Every structure is written in structure tokens, then in C-alpha cells.
Structure 1
Amino acid sequence: MDSFASLLAPITPDQFLSEVYGKAPLHIPASGGSASRDLLSWARWNAMLSVASSWTEPRLKLYIEGRRIAAEHYCDSINTLDGVQLRVNPRKVRVFLSMGASLVANAVETMAPELRAAAKTLEGALLGLTSANVYCSFGGRRAFNSHYDSHEVFAFHTEGEKVWRIYEGRADNPLAGPPDHPDVQAQMDRQKGRLLREVTMRPGDLLYIPRGQFHDALASSEASLHVTFSVEPRTARILFRALEQEAMKDSAFRAWLPDPRHDGGAALKARLGELADRLKAIATSDAVADEVAEVQRAIFGELSEYALPAVGPLEAYETAPRPAEVVRTAEGWALRTQAGLIPLEGLHKPMSWILARPAFTLQEMAAWHPQADEAALRRLLERLTAAGMVRPRV
């Protein structure tokens, strides 16, 4: 999967982002360009399952009619050099699959190049943490009862057929999925509302379900296989951490709070009001905006890969023992030296990392800061070298 456009074809990315994303479910049937959505065949999936050491509980789970099968029924306790592991027993799994159980494999995005490429495509397009689960189901049975997810759902159907039912009900920006409890399930069955749409998924089809939308699914053919990618962008929760970091630089936030037992708590209430005004100024500052954006960009680099036997040479540097500090100016982040300011172009964290080390390599710095473009890091090192702050190490 080489692009977000090929994933969505014939829907364009602009159409999807403006009309569908976060708003409504979308079924994209297989078409002439759907070969890029053929992510997992039975043969490929069987080969992945055969790597026995990869499959422990809870990475591989079994469900039947909405109930999870206890791990001790299909796993064995294996003594390994790292201690006792609860490892999946393929023979026991096959028994449950013959009974109509569904197999769910979690976090498989790194196990095959096709899945990794699709995950990186979604991650880059939507700036969200992305993970892939594989669902193997059998005719007339479903793995889960009606539910909603706390992330965006992109389901790629690869083998057999499966009927999905999507309901009108939708949870309001949930932060977690519903707990697995009969009373909760009864409540969700009431909240899901009327059937909105029923979709039969076939190989090459893509189904998008927005966060919080109630749905369920069951295999309509003898067996079916699909891969679901969950995409979870950041919420405003990350703002609180950035606010705390910036606020504690202000003496007013480090001062003791008034005793609430005096004057009926009036002084405390007044102080909190003053601090709230300061918080608003901090929340709308460039420093906090930069920090929040930095956390969002940090999503990139989660899915790395190898290109062995190529490993590449290391480009080593030494840090000059000269006084310098990273500061924020009206124009942005900069390195303050005795000779003046060196613009950092948003690379203040890599710069702080450099200052804490007597020596380092470009490759090491890039590995520790995967959200930063390596070309930008190289340009920074060129400026630092010209200023005498670092020098290549031979």
C-alpha cells in the first residue's frame, strides 16, 4: 500500500477527510485499484501463525458468541530461558475453531511488510497511533456482541465474506471501550439504536467506522479473514502535561495555596481565579503549542524496519566545551552562545540532547528523535559545526 489515495480509491483523500472522517461509516467495495488492499491471504496468515514463539496470551485470543475463552483452555505453560510463558497450543486452538470460535490476533502490524506499510500509511495520513488486529471467523458465529470502539476503525476484508451491522447509536468521543459485563452489554444493546446499515464484506473491500459508532459482525461464509487497523490520534489530554511543565516555571504556581479553612475559602477561590487567568495565557502560548505539536509528531517513527545486511556507517561528533543554552525567543527556539543565537527551527529537543553529551552520532540522535526529519538534523549539525559548537570525530 503505497499511499492513502490507493487505500481509499476510488474515494479521494480530500473527500474522505472533509465528508466522512469522524462523521459517518463508509463502505468502499473492491474495485480495479483494490489490489493495494489485499493485505493477508490464508497462506500468509497460516505462515505467521506457525511462528509459535510469537503467540502468547493475550496477543492471541479466542471468542465465541461474544464470550472470551479462558486462556488456560488453549494455552500451555512453557518453561523458557526467560521463565514460564503461557504459549498458544495450535492443536487446542483448532479444536475451538472447529466449534465455531473466532481467533483474534492483536498488534500484528510489525509481523509482515504489507501490514507495516498499511499501518504507516494510515499513521502518516491521520497522525494517529496505529495498530493492526487480525480476525478469523467462521460461518454464523460472531466474536463480539454489539459494541463501539474508542478509535477509528479501518477494516480490510481479505478472505471469505462477513456481514457487518452498523447502528445509529454513537458514543460521544469515548476514551476507552465499554467494559465486558452483562449489565453493560444490556445497556449498550439499548443505546445502539436502530440498524443504520448492513454491509456484506468481500475480499478487497474496505469498511471505515468512526470512533464510538455501534456495530457488530459475523462470518456469512464458511470462514472469513479480515484485518482491522485502529487509528488513535491524540486528544487534548496531552495539553495538561504541557501546561504543567510551563506553569511550574511561574512562581505563582509554585507558591503555597491559601488555607481553605480561613474566610470560608474566599482567598483560595480568588487565588484559583488568578491562576486560571495565567493558565489561559500559558495555554495559548507558542511554547505550549510547540510542545503539543511535538507530542503529536512523536507518533512518527513507531513502526521501524530493517534493511539487513546494510547497517550504514556512523557519523560521529564531539561537543565543544563552550557555554550554551536552549532558549525560546520571539522568533522561536534558538541556541544561545557567546557569539549569539543559532536558530533551531523547532529542533530544541535534539539540541538539548546534544548539549547533555560529550560525543554522539547523527544516527543515534535520529534514533532518539524519530519525529525529526534526518535532513533537518543534518542541517543543524552543519550550523553547529560552522559555529564551533560541535566537530566531526575522526
Structure 2
Amino acid sequence: MASGLSQPGPRPWSLARLLAPHDADLFLRHYWETAYLHVDRGDPGYYADLVTLRDIDALVATSNLEAGQIRAAGGPLGPAGDPDEDAEAQPALAGGAARGRASTSPGGPEWLYEQFRAGSSLVLSFLQGRSAALRDFCNDLGRELSAGVQANAYVTPAHAQGLAAHYDTHDVFVVQVAGTKVWKLYDIPVPVPLNSQHYRREEHAPSAPPVVVEVAAGDVLYVPRGLVHEAQSTDAVSVHLAVGVLTLTWADVLHAAVDDVARRNPAGRRALPTAFARDADARSMAVDGVSSALAQLRRRAEPAALIDRMAAVAMSRLTPDVDGYLCGIAAGPELDLTTPLDRHDRDTWSVDLREDGRLVLASGTRRLSMPARLESELEWLVTAPLPVSAADLPGTLAAEDRLVLFRRLVSEGFLRLPGTGQGAPSSAPASAARAASTAVSSAAADSGAPAPSTR
């Protein structure tokens, strides 16, 4: 257990900031995928710039039951401190299984609050798609861990439990926002389970006494996948984020290798011997075929290409930052050489040269093919101080070509007007904000032709 007082700093988020003052490198060496870690800070406001009880309150009020954004689960604890015995089995959000009442009955917000008053927890799903702060947090962490990261919130009334004992098939950081929860941590019946290896009570129910950990506001608890756990609130409302890390595994690499080799080699796509399931000779042929296929896989698989493919998959799991996208498209025809612009996903831009001689500009989950002659201009845009304008672009591009390039980057979601996204830089001058506002207003009144394609 790590303890101490540490104040959060500005973006970006990182594993080090999430776990501070515990050392992130030590965590990866000694806890990641194998053991729980509780960081006890004694600092209730540590995550205040990420999410607060007021933020969660607003999200509950605007959540849609029918769209699956929120549900009620669990109930009050019985006299013995156990979940309500009337609870029914329900799947957990990302592959585990848990016991607890859960419903998406279309009763509206008042129905939700009625369930909450009766002891049910409110579960808000995939908040990284509804909160810019949580999107940035999940993306920052996802880039560092080369994984998808999602954030669900659990709001539990006093003396209640949302989910019964279970394990998850993904790693979880429990970020306690308000109140306190008592966690019971059992054993790991299935180390690092695959997504398909769900918790089954009849097989995996814990038999040994748990380790009991009290997690207070401002603390974080790491729960590796496969660790059986359950949590109960104490004498006040509890709010925590379950930050799920969706890692890529060596099994994923092997699946990708088989897929890649089979796509390039017709032999890998042929059917097994027709009688292999009923005839001994055909079965023997099939066994020899497996040995041959594995040998071909070893010879033909391209390790570097497979890791590049996994990297692309990991980055595709980030949540797109599209703040200001529509404002930029609307303003496109009115953009001029001096219009200040910001980068979407400003920390993740990259430019790579493909084998066919074209460039690929990448930003977050976006990819755009561009002509190789623009390499120096795009490389400059990757690191240029913000805001940028077409007039600032170094090189010999004509004014008209600069406008074509910048309008294309705005229309494709790579650039945006400062002040139209929550990630916009606070240092953008007032003139930039006025120019952006003027451009949007002018575009709204003018249906000018779209910017020409940069090809």
C-alpha cells in the first residue's frame, strides 16, 4: 500500500499521475496483471479536475435508459452485510458476471431515482464518449499503455452493493470520486483470462477469506483481470469510476498471424479432410496438416508487421476527439491565410511515408493519405506552436495551395478553430477567437462551394 499527499497537475494524464505517489515503473514490474494495489492518499480532491459528484449528477440526469447509457443494479445489504438475496444474475459491463438486480425498464429519470432510493446502484456506461475530460484521460492512458481504455461510473447509496463477487476479463483502475467503499479481494482462479473466459459462480466462487481494503475519495485501487472481488458502500453515497484497460495479448497476435498468413496463402483457407471427424485415417491426415500449417505459420508470419498491426488496433480504440468539427466544416469556405487553427488530438500527430510513395497523416483515430511533396509542410504542422495559420506555413507553397491544404485538414477533422473544442489552448489570443467567431458566422450565412481536394 502506498500513501502520501500529492496534488494533481495539468493534462496530460499518465500512469504516474494516476498512481502517484506510487512509482509507475515499480507498478508495471510488480503489480501489473498479477496483484492488486491500493494507493491511499488522504486527498479527497485528487481527481477533482477529472470528474466530481456534480458532474456525475448531471450525467445521470441526462442519461438515456433506452440507449443503454445507464442502468440500475444490485440492492441494499441484508442484516448479515450480504447483497439482497432476491438479486438475480446479471452480466457485468465488459465480460464478467455478477449477481445483482439490473434493469433498463423505460421508466425515465424518476424511475432511476426511485431505484436508487430503494438501494440499487446506478451504472453509467462508457463515459469517455460523453465527457471531454474523461475522453482525454482515457486516451492519455490508452496511448501510454497501448490499449483501449473505457470509463464506467458506479453510484451506490449508503450500505449497498451493486455487483456480487466476480472477476473481470480486463484490468481495472478503481478511481474513488466520492464516499468510501469497502472492497473484498479474493483469489485469481483464472490468471489473465481471455475475453471468452467469463466468471462462473459454480466454478470460480471464492473459498478463502478475502483481503479487505477500504477505498476513500481520492484513492485508486488497481484490480488485475481475473481477481475475484466485490465492493460495498459504507454510511454515505459512494461514486467511483471503473477505468477498464482493454489490452492486446499474445493470443491476439497469434490470431492476427493466422489471419494474415491465411489471407496470403490459399492452403490455409482450404477445408479439413471431409471424414476427419469419423475416420481414423482422415483424422491422421488432419493431424499432419496441423503440423504443416503451424510450420508454415512460423515461416510466413512477419513479426514486425504483426506488431505494427497491433499498434494500429490499439490506437483505433482511442475515443475520437471531434470537438469543434462541425464549426470547422461550416467555416471552411471562409478560412483565409490568417485564420488561427488548433490541432485535434494535438499530442498524437504523425507523418509516415507508405511503400506506394504517398504520405499518411495520422491523428488519434484519423488517417489521411496525402501527396509526398507535402512532407515538409506536414512535418512542420506536427510540432508547430499553436495556434497555426496557412500564412505561418514554411516552404514555397502558393497562397491558394496553402488554403486548399488547410481547408482539407479542417474538413477531415485534423485542424479546428480555437475555442470550439474543450481541448483548445487557453493561450490562443483574443484575435484568434474573434476570427474564428467571424468565420463561423460568415459560413452560416454563405453556402459557398467546398474546398478543393488536396490530392
TM-score w.r.t. length of structure 1 = 0.70
Matched with 1:130 is 149
Cα deviation, residue 16, structure 1: 1.7
Distance 1:294 1:110, change over 3 A: closer
Distance 1:313 1:70, change over 3 A: closer
**What is the letter of the counterpart of residue 317 of structure 2?**
I
Matched with 1:109 is 128
Distance 1:6 1:33, change over 3 A: farther
* Structure 1 residues 109-140: Cα deviation after superposition (integer angstroms, max 9, x where no partner): 22222222221222122122111111111222
How high is the sequence identity, in percent, across the aligned residues? 22
Matched with 1:12 is 23
Q: 2:41 aligns with which of 5, 27, 30?
A: 30
**What is the letter of the counterpart of residue 321 of structure 2?**
S
Cα deviation, residue 229, structure 1: 0.7
Quick check: 2:142–2:149 contact (8 Å CA) kept in 1? yes
Quick check: 2:148–2:315 contact (8 Å CA) kept in 1? no
Q: 1:194 aligns with which of 189, 209, 226?
A: 209
Q: 2:174 aligns with which of 145, 152, 155?
A: 155
Distance 1:212 1:263, change over 3 A: closer
Q: How does 1:171-210 map to 2 (within 5 A)?
A: 171-176=190-195, 184-189=200-205, 191=206, 193-195=208-210, 197-210=211-224
**What is the letter of the counterpart of residue 43 of structure 1?**
R
Unaligned segments of structure 1, at least 5 residues? 77-88, 316-331, 337-341, 351-364, 386-390
Bigger strand share: 1
Quick check: 1:105–1:135 contact (8 Å CA) kept in 2? yes
Matched with 2:345 is none
Unaligned segments of structure 2, at least 5 residues? 1-10, 76-82, 84-98, 336-351, 378-403, 406-452
CA distance in 2, matches of 1:175, 1:226: 25
Q: How does 1:1-394 map to 2 (within 5 A)?
A: 1-4=11-14, 5-30=16-41, 35-36=46-47, 39-52=50-63, 54-56=64-66, 58-63=68-73, 64=75, 65=83, 66-72=99-105, 75-76=106-107, 89-176=108-195, 184-189=200-205, 191=206, 193-195=208-210, 197-235=211-249, 236-253=251-268, 260=275, 264-265=281-282, 266-300=284-318, 302-307=319-324, 309-310=327-328, 335=355, 342=357, 350=360, 366=362, 370=365, 380=372, 382=374
Distance 1:59 1:255, change over 3 A: closer
Stretch deviating more after TM superposition (109-118 or 222-231): 109-118
Quick check: 2:185–2:228 contact (8 Å CA) kept in 1? yes
Quick check: 2:179–2:217 contact (8 Å CA) kept in 1? yes
CA distance in 2, matches of 1:69, 1:34: 31
* Structure 1 residues 170-200: Cα deviation after superposition (integer angstroms, max 9, x where no partner): 42222348768xxx435433x35331x2221
Question: The residue matched to 2:35 in structure 1 has which SS?
Answer: coil
Question: The residue matched to 2:129 in structure 1 has which SS?
Answer: coil
Cα deviation, residue 151, structure 1: 0.6
Quick check: 1:242–1:292 contact (8 Å CA) kept in 2? no
* Structure 1 residues 280-337: Cα deviation after superposition (integer angstroms, max 9, x where no partner): 112354443433343334334x34230364557599xxxxxxxxxxxxxxxx99535x
Cα deviation, residue 2, structure 1: 2.4
Quick check: 2:171–2:224 contact (8 Å CA) kept in 1? yes
Question: The residue matched to 2:128 in structure 1 has which SS?
Answer: coil
Quick check: 2:44–2:219 contact (8 Å CA) kept in 1? no
**What is the letter of the counterpart of residue 223 of structure 2?**
I
Distance 1:310 1:29, change over 3 A: farther
Cα deviation, residue 24, structure 1: 1.1
CA-based RMSD: 3.7
CA distance in 1, matches of 2:62, 2:332: 32
* Structure 1 residues 238-297: Cα deviation after superposition (integer angstroms, max 9, x where no partner): 532442233332354356765657992344443432222111112354443433343334
**What is the letter of the counterpart of residue 41 of structure 2?**
A
* Structure 1 residues 132-183: Cα deviation after superposition (integer angstroms, max 9, x where no partner): 1111112221111111111111111111111111113342222348768xxx
Quick check: 2:129–2:135 contact (8 Å CA) kept in 1? yes
The size of the alignment, in residue pairs, is 326
